[in-house]
Structure 1
Amino acid sequence: MKKIFLSAILAGAVIAFGGTVFLSVENTVVGSLFFTIGLFVVCTRGLHLFTGKVCYVFDNDMAYAKTLPVIWLGNLAGTSLIALAEKCTRLVSLSARAQGICELKLSEPLFGAFILAVFCNVMIYIGVEGYRSNPHELGKYLALFFGVCVFILCGFEHCVANMYYFTMGGAWSGRAVLYLLVMTVGNAAGGVNRAFGKKGLVPLRDGNSLRAAGVRR
Structure 2
Amino acid sequence: MSYVMPQDFVSQMVATGEKKLFTSTRDTLIRSFMGAALLTMGAALAVTISTTTGNPLLGAVFFPIGFIMLYLMGYDLLTGVFTMVPFAVLARRPGATWRGVWRTWGLVFCGNFAGALTVAVLMAITLTYGFSTPPGEIGQALGAIGESRTVGYAEHGAAGMLTLFVRGVLCNWMVSTGVVAFLMSKDTISKAIAMWMPVFLFFYLGFEHSVVNMFLFPSGLLLGGDFTLVDYLVWNELPTVLGNLVGGLVFVGLPLYLTHYRTRPERLRVGPEGPGEPVKAAAEDRFSTPVG
- Scaled by the length of structure 2, the TM-score of the pair is 0.64
Q: CA deviation at 1:16?
A: 1.5
Q: Residue in 2 aligned with 1:13?
A: 37
Q: CA deviation at 1:32?
A: 1.3
Q: State the secondary structure of the residue aligned to 1:150.
A: helix
Q: Residue in 2 aligned with 1:177?
A: 233
Whole-angstrom CA distance in 2 between matches of 1:201 and 1:141? 25
Structure 1 residue 198 and structure 2 residue 256: aligned?
yes
What is the aligned counterpart of 1:55 among 69, 83, 97? 83
- Whether the aligned pair in 2 keeps the contact of 1:166 and 1:172 (CA below 8 Å) is no
Structure 1 residue 159 and structure 2 residue 196: aligned?
no
Q: CA deviation at 1:137?
A: 5.5
Whole-angstrom CA distance in 1 between matches of 2:170 and 2:70? 20
Which residues of structure 2 form unaligned runs of 5+?
1-24, 89-95, 129-134, 154-159, 222-226, 262-292
RMSD between aligned residues: 2.3
Q: CA deviation at 1:31?
A: 1.1
Q: CA deviation at 1:199?
A: 4.1
More deviation, 194-203/38-47: 194-203
**Residue identity (%):** 23
1:1-21 per-position Cα deviation (integer Å, ceiling 9, x unaligned)? 022112111111111101110
Q: Residue in 2 aligned with 1:69?
A: 106
Higher helix share: 1
Question: CA, structure 1 residues 164+172, in 2 after alignment: closer, same or farther (shift >3 Å)?
Answer: farther
Structure 1 residue 189 and structure 2 residue 233: aligned?
no
Question: CA, structure 1 residues 99+90, in 2 after alignment: closer, same or farther (shift >3 Å)?
Answer: closer
Question: CA, structure 1 residues 201+40, in 2 after alignment: closer, same or farther (shift >3 Å)?
Answer: farther
Q: CA deviation at 1:142?
A: 2.1
- Scaled by the length of structure 1, the TM-score of the pair is 0.85
Structure 1 residue 95 and structure 2 residue 139: aligned?
yes
Q: CA deviation at 1:125?
A: 1.5
Question: CA, structure 1 residues 184+195, in 2 after alignment: closer, same or farther (shift >3 Å)?
Answer: closer
Structure 1 residue 35 and structure 2 residue 63: aligned?
yes
Pairs aligned (count): 204
Structure 1 residue 121 and structure 2 residue 166: aligned?
no
Q: CA deviation at 1:28?
A: 1.5
Q: State the secondary structure of the residue aligned to 2:208.
A: coil
Q: CA deviation at 1:128?
A: 1.1
Letter in 2 for 1:121: N
- Whether the aligned pair in 2 keeps the contact of 1:127 and 1:146 (CA below 8 Å) is yes
Structure 1 or 2, whichever has the larger Rg, is: 2
- Whether the aligned pair in 2 keeps the contact of 1:118 and 1:188 (CA below 8 Å) is yes
Q: CA deviation at 1:158?
A: 0.2
Q: CA deviation at 1:51?
A: 0.8
